[in-house]
Structure formats: structure tokens, C-alpha cells
Structure 1
Amino acid sequence: MQLMTSCAAGAALLLLLHCCQIASIVGHESALTVVKNPDGREGGGADEETEVAVDEEDLEVVQPTEDWQTLKPGQAVPAGSHVRLNLQTGQREVRIGKEQLKYWTQEHRETEEIQSTISPDDLKWAMKKMKEELNPVRKETDRQLTDSVASKYRPLDELKRDLAQLDLLVETDVQIMKRLLDQFNSSNSTTEQRLSILLELEYLVHQVDNAQTLCSMGGLQLILEGLNSTDIRLQESSAFVLGSAVSSNPVVQVKAVESGALQTLLTVLATAQPLRVKKKVLFAVAALLRNFPYSQRHFLSHGGLQVLSELFKADGGGVLRTRIVTMLYDMISEKELISQAGLDLVLDASHEERVHQYSQVSLQGELLEKGWCSLVPQLLESTEHDYREKALRALLAMAPMCLDQYRLDSSLLGSLLSLRDQYQEMVQSEMIVGEENGYFAEIVELIHALQFKMK
């Protein structure tokens, strides 16, 4: 009996000590108080998220949010809040409960709906009214600026009306050439208008198709009539158009030869004409002969080399001489290149035909017969480096047929020695400035090559 009494007294003592400890903790950390929400609802939690319902007054109430936030001693939370003990920090934390979140969201949505009852038009009107009342001076300035800008430009309706009245026509090249030819044929056209027409045609015929179309329209005959005109300006412009039309255009070259263009050009060269006309006519002749053995054969048969030799002798300035020598050099080089290509084992039919056509052009014999072996060296007397270079190239190309005459021409030998010394000094000057293979060095190589052939 005494033992049971002792045990009961021990248990009572332990219970008393435990209660005292709880009381000291609560008194030390203050109480966690749950206050009622405005609607009088209370919520609850469990385990880590607990809810303690304690009615207290005059406490600091924490407004929870969606995120967890730490509670300080003496703070209270609204009913329905979720409270938990953070085991890592040992502090209590609180956030808004699900019911509160739903209530807050619904309340926020209703507030926005009330605010959105103001229409955009009403808001714009209010802002405009406010701006007009606050800044009347700016309103007047803007009105004046608008009036000023409007006065500088025509109304849109007026512009549309004027554009509708315009007859906008986009012409093709064919339509343009037809219109130009009609104007050229018109008896009311003046010389100045025809010169302008020829200038436009010269621009158009650089395209192969346009040049061929011009011939099919009868434009070639009009050009030849211009060559026979007594007005030197029409002669010059017509020759320019013809040269541009036949350049690298075999179809037009054939039509030009068949139309007698070559005879007309040679006739103009053989008559007394200003230098400007003869330069354009030589341009047309060179374009008609280039890479076209059929035309070259007609050129030789109609005394073309004789006409050029007379023109070469009469030219004192060297401009025409240089053009003539360049033309001859091109003709010789073309035939030489064709004969070298003929050594290939595999040839197509067109190439064989070209070789056959060039074989019918007896250019070398004509050059020898017309005295060109002694005419071309005269161009070396020019002071122009370009003229001398072209003469040296032509002399080298003519060497196979003129070599005997070169060796007998003492003036040619003396010119080559003099030019070699002169250009060697120029080469030294080029090397000083760092040009080892300059223009003058190239001329020296041409002189050496010609001297080597003459030995």
C-alpha cells in the first residue's frame, strides 16, 4: 500500500512539471491567435500545416500571401490560413488558405469588372478634353501646322482624278524602234530630230535581238541612206549605228553585206570627208570584218586594201593609221588562230566550215601586193607609245610574208635600234619604282622579237 502511494505521488509530480514547462513555453513565445475573417468563416489545418483557434484581441494580424512567410512572436493570422512549423529553421510559417485564395481571386475579378465598365471611347474623350483644357495654345499650333501642310499638297481625290486621265503606255523595244523609224521616215522630221533618233537606235542595237529586229523592219536601208546623206552629221551617226548593230552579230553582218553596206562604207572612205566621219566609218568597217571571213573576202574583192592604203598615206596625225593597222592585225591574227586550231584531232562541222572560209581569204598576198610591208613601219615614227605598240604587233604578224622587205628596209632597222635604246631606259625607270614587267618592258620584248626574226 505504501509502495502504490509513492508511485502515485511520483506520477503527479511529473505531470505537474510538464504542465509548468508548457506554460513557460507558451508564456515565452506568445500565443498563435486565429482571428475571424470578415465573413465569419474559420478554416483548419493539420500536421505541418496546422490551425490554432485562439480568440485574442489587440494582436498584430498578419495578412498571408500565396507564399510562405515567417511568423514573429505575438502575431496573429486570419482564420483559414495555413500554418506550418519549418523543421529546418524551427520557425512557424503561414500562407493564405485555399478558401481565402478563392475568395480573394473572386473579389479581385469583380473589382476589375467594375473598373472595366468604362468604355475606351469615354476614356479617349476624357483624355482629349483634358488635353484641350490644359493646352489650348498647342491646339492652335497644331491646327496651324495642319493647314500649312495641307496647303503644300494637292488633295488625294484630285491626284486620283488626274492620274486616271493619264494614258500611261509602257513600250517594248520593238515598239520603240518602230516608232523611231516612222518618225525618221516622216517628211516633217528635221535633221536634229533624225540625229536624236539615230542616237536612240544606236543604244538599242547593242542588244543582238534588237539589231536583228531593226533589219527586219527595214532600218538597215535607212541607215545606208544616212551614209549617203550630204549632211556629215547624219553620215557620222549612221555609221555609228551600223557599227554597233553588226558588232558580234553574224545575222546582221550577213544582211549588211548583202545590202551593199560594205561598198557604201568604202565609198565614204574613198571620198573627201572630215576626220570625225572617217573615224566612225572605220569603226563600222572593222566591226563588219571582225570574225567574218565572208565579209573579208568581199572587202578584198572590192579593193578594200587599196582604199585603206590611200587613207593611210593621207593621214598625217596617225589616228586613222592606228585604226587601220589594228584592223589589219586583227584580220591576220584571226586567220592564224583558225589555222592553229585546225591542228586539233577533234573538230566540229562549223569549225571546218570556218577554216574553209578563211582559206578563201587571200589576205597575205593582198598585203604584199598593195605595199603594206613598207607602209606599216611608218607608224613607228609616231611619238605615241600606243601607236608604236600596235605597229610592232602588226609587223610581227606580217613577218612571214614581209621578212625579205624588212631586211632591206634600212629605215626600219634604224627605227628598231633607236626605239630599243629609248625603251630600255624607260624600263630602268620602271624598275626603280618597282614595276619589273611594265608597259615599256612589253614594248622592248616586241622589238627584240622582231629583230630576232630579221636576223
Structure 2
Amino acid sequence: MSKWSIFLLTNLLVAFSSGTTNSTKFVATKDWQEIPDGQAIPEGLHVRINLSTGKKEAKLLDTVSNDTQSSSISTVPGAGVQDHDRDQLPFTSNLNQLKEALQKIPADEFKLNEEELKKVKDKYKSYDQIKQELKEANLEVKSDSDIMQSLFKRFLDIWKSKNLAESKVKAELETVFEDLQYLVHQIDNAIEFIDRQGIEQIIWPSLNQTNASLRVRSLKLLGTIIQNNPKAKVALFERNGGGILLAKISQSTETEEISAGLFAFGNLVRKFPYAMTELLTPHGYSLLFDVLDKNVELRVKVKIVRLISDLVQDYEHALSAPDVDATTRERYQSTNLKGTLHKVNYCPRVSEFFLSNKPGLVLDESLADDVVEALRGISQILCHEVWSVCPLFRHALLVLKNDLDDRLTEWSGYPQGAEYLKEILHKITQFVEELYHREVPRRDEL
């Protein structure tokens, strides 16, 4: 794990210093003693800041310490933040009082007036005051914003070196992307990344590099930034991000790059009707369908089938569910999603994909499960009339079913694996019955 990842996991970096020299020797005891300003102290002591007085204190190390209470922040070289206030009452003695206090908390929201708010503010130190005191004691608190600023600077310094082909530089860049991706999982951090011009300074330059690994990293980072984040989606859309993603997906021949591109593109258009209208045009669909004919792994092609199935189901829910507000329903209706899919012959196109990739689906039950679930999810909504009259489509489903039947006997000694295969078999059986309104035939009827 990188040092930046440690920052992210703890948000607290503790550093120890013995202070500046002083002619007076500090004699430590078992009790806490205040350390005069500029006083040098021996190594191997407990050191803390007393948050009540704001002063630094020190004492000898305890032989055994199982304390769990503290009103201070203390440090020992190599030990991180510890708890050393042994004069506090044991936690258990206050347990009943704590329970009573919790029960008395009012259920309704309350607001402080200005006078009460001022009293509270005067009673406690501000974040800036605490940060300054910790800085004076060589204790540094780094916020997510501080860390992001450091990562931006680190990225730009590496970029200016122009040695991106070196393995050491590649590894360093990958670490920066890894740490940024961890940060932007939080919505506020993702917005800050965009406000700091991260798309312009980091994402776009990385997408234009010949290094495929760097392009993949930037696409994954971009997909994480906009995942379930409406403000970030709008910001990316305003930067023509959707068009750029479609172009990258269409131009690439690398499995991992296309997969990362679809991850980002899917996160952009999901739950975003306006982006669906602007991007999922006949031309946009043609760029996605091009991937189905590329020499890339089947799992990437299945992603496109699943994405379109998810969009159709969201669309149908928005138009028919009683709990959807009128504005949302109107926005989805304006996309004309089903009409455009009919126009680009999606149902015959995906049927052709299913039939031509039957051998690969037979070999991978997980992909078979994904495809069957995706197709079944939109069958009644969009494609029932096409698939229900196609004997080859029915035959492909039955081939999958029979192969799973054969493999089920091989998994008899593995209950969990056998249950998973049974679930897929059940889905296929139901799908066939829904399409053709009759029971699934026996093997000898195929």
C-alpha cells in the first residue's frame, strides 16, 4: 500500500520530534508534566497535547497499558496515536449515565439560536486552531482536500518530466491514479476533482497517451468520478465527455480499454435522460455495435448487452411506475429510447450476437447468466415479437440449458456451484416459456 493510501485510510499522519535543545534538563516521572517551550526531552517518553490546556506534556512509559479513555492526543516514537490518560474514570462506571443521556435525546430536530451557537463556538476550539496546535507539536492533520492537492502536484511534476515510458515513472503514475480513485469514491471529493480542473489536467492528457495502461487507468478514474454523482455527470457532459468516450470505445482494439470505457460511458448515461437523448442516437448505437464485431473478449461485448438492457428497464420503470414524478417521467419519455432501438434494429442485432457467440456462452456459465438475464429483462418490453418467432433463438437457449444440465452432474459434489447452475437453468426455462408459451421440451425433441 502506498503512503498516500495510508493517508486516505487514516487521515492522520503522526510525526515525532524531541524538540529544540535547552540548557535545563527535563526529568520525567510516572506523572504527566508540562514541557516548557523549547525544552529538550529524552527519547522514549509518552508525549501528548493536553486538549484542556493546549500544552505539551510528557511522562515515563507505562509498563502495561490497556487504557481505553483519553482526553488528549499523545505520541510515542513508532506507536501512532495512543491513549494515556489513566486519571479518567473507567468507561464502565459511566455506562448507565450514558444510556440515560442517550434516552433523553429529543427525537425532533432542534436548532440553536445565535446566542447559544456563539457559546458553543466559544467553548470549543476551531479546526484551524487545533490544526495550528498540532503543527506546532509536529503533528500534522491532512484532509482529503490536502491530499488531493498533493496528488495533483505529484502528477503534474511527473508529467513535466516527460519520462512516461520508464517503468519507474509508470509505476508512480499508477499509484497516483490508484490514490485518486480511492478519494473520488466520495461525492464531494469527486466534485472537487472536477473543480480543480482534474478532467482537463489529468484525464484528457492521459487518454491521449500511447501507453494503454495509462488510458485504462484514466477511464476507470473517470467512471468512478461520475458514478451515482449527478453533478459530476453534468460537468462531464458539458465537457463533451460522452462524445469523447464513444470515440475512444469505437477506436480502441484493447479489451481492457474498451471495458473501462464502457464502465465510464454507462455511468454517464444511466439515470441521465438528457445524456441518453444526445448520445444514444443511431450514430452512437452504431459505435457501440461496432464493438460486437471486434476481436476482443466476450465479456466486454456482454457489457454492451447488459448496458442497453439496464437503460430499457430504467426507461420502462420511469414511464409506468406510480412512484415516479411527472418531471422525471416526461424527461425519460422525451428520449424515445424504445423508438430509437427499433430504428437501429437492436432486437435482430442482439439476436445475431447471441447466436454467433453461443459456443463462448456454453463455456462460461457466468457470461451465459448475464446474457440470459439481460435478454429476458427486455424481452416483453422490446423484443418479444422478434425473438418469439425465431426458431434459432429458441434452439440456442435450449442448447445452453442442455449443456448446463450435463455440467450439473459434474458439480454434484459441490453444493454451492450446483445451486448456481440450477439458478441459471431456472432462468432459461422461464425465458423459453415466456417467449413460446409452452413447456421446455425434452432433450430428444431438439
- What do residues 164-216 of structure 1 show as CA deviations (whole Å, max 9, x unaligned)? 99955332111221222233234237432433322221111011110011111
Q: Where do 1:261-340 residues align within 5 Å?
A: 261-301=241-281, 303-315=283-295, 317-340=297-320
Partner-residue secondary structure (3-state), 2:185: coil
**Following the alignment from structure 2 to structure 1, what is the Cα–Cα distance between the partners of residues 182 and 373?**
32
CA distance 1:369–1:175, shift in 2 (3 Å): same
CA distance 1:266–1:354, shift in 2 (3 Å): same
Q: CA deviation at 1:249?
A: 0.8
Correspondence for 2:198: 219
Correspondence for 1:157: 42
CA contact (8 A) 1:373 1:405 kept: yes
Q: Where do 1:229-244 residues align within 5 Å?
A: 229-244=209-224
Q: CA deviation at 1:158?
A: 6.0
Stretch of structure 1 that moved more, 226-235 or 189-198: 189-198
Cα RMSD, aligned residues only: 3.2
**Following the alignment from structure 2 to structure 1, what is the Cα–Cα distance between the partners of residues 155 and 415?**
56
- Write the letter of the residue equivalent to 1:169: E
Partner-residue secondary structure (3-state), 1:169: strand
- What TM-score do the two structures reach when normalised by structure 1? 0.58
Q: CA deviation at 1:229?
A: 2.6
Q: CA deviation at 1:225?
A: 2.6
- What do residues 44-73 of structure 1 show as CA deviations (whole Å, max 9, x unaligned)? xxxxxxxxxxxxxxxxxxxxxxxxxxxxxx
Whether 2:188 is the aligned partner of 1:188: answer: no
**Following the alignment from structure 2 to structure 1, what is the Cα–Cα distance between the partners of residues 385 and 378?**
11
Q: CA deviation at 1:326?
A: 1.6
Q: What is the identity percentage for the equivalent residue pairs of Structure 1 and Structure 2?
A: 22
Partner-residue secondary structure (3-state), 1:230: coil
- What TM-score do the two structures reach when normalised by structure 2? 0.59
**Following the alignment from structure 2 to structure 1, what is the Cα–Cα distance between the partners of residues 252 and 412?**
47
**Following the alignment from structure 1 to structure 2, what is the Cα–Cα distance between the partners of residues 436 and 228?**
43
**Following the alignment from structure 1 to structure 2, what is the Cα–Cα distance between the partners of residues 205 and 264?**
21
Correspondence for 2:182: 203
Correspondence for 1:447: 428
**Following the alignment from structure 2 to structure 1, what is the Cα–Cα distance between the partners of residues 255 and 296?**
11
CA contact (8 A) 2:319 2:329 kept: yes
Stretch of structure 1 that moved more, 200-209 or 332-341: 332-341
Correspondence for 2:10: none
Q: Please point out which of 403, 409, 413 is paired with 1:422.
A: 403
**Following the alignment from structure 2 to structure 1, what is the Cα–Cα distance between the partners of residues 406 and 249?**
40
Stretch of structure 1 that moved more, 352-361 or 371-380: 371-380
Stretch of structure 1 that moved more, 355-364 or 436-445: 436-445
Correspondence for 1:354: 328
CA contact (8 A) 2:255 2:297 kept: no
Q: CA deviation at 1:426?
A: 5.3
**Following the alignment from structure 1 to structure 2, what is the Cα–Cα distance between the partners of residues 279 and 435?**
29
Q: CA deviation at 1:412?
A: 1.1
Correspondence for 2:347: 373
**Over alpha carbons, which structure has the higher Rg?**
1
**Following the alignment from structure 2 to structure 1, what is the Cα–Cα distance between the partners of residues 245 and 315?**
23
Q: CA deviation at 1:387?
A: 1.3
CA contact (8 A) 2:270 2:311 kept: yes
Q: Give the structure with the larger helix fraction.
A: 1
5+ unaligned residues in a row in structure 1: which ranges? 1-154
5+ unaligned residues in a row in structure 2: which ranges? 1-39, 46-76, 78-134, 437-446
**Following the alignment from structure 1 to structure 2, what is the Cα–Cα distance between the partners of residues 268 and 166?**
50
**Following the alignment from structure 1 to structure 2, what is the Cα–Cα distance between the partners of residues 245 and 210?**
9
Q: Where do 1:136-175 residues align within 5 Å?
A: 157=42, 168-175=139-146
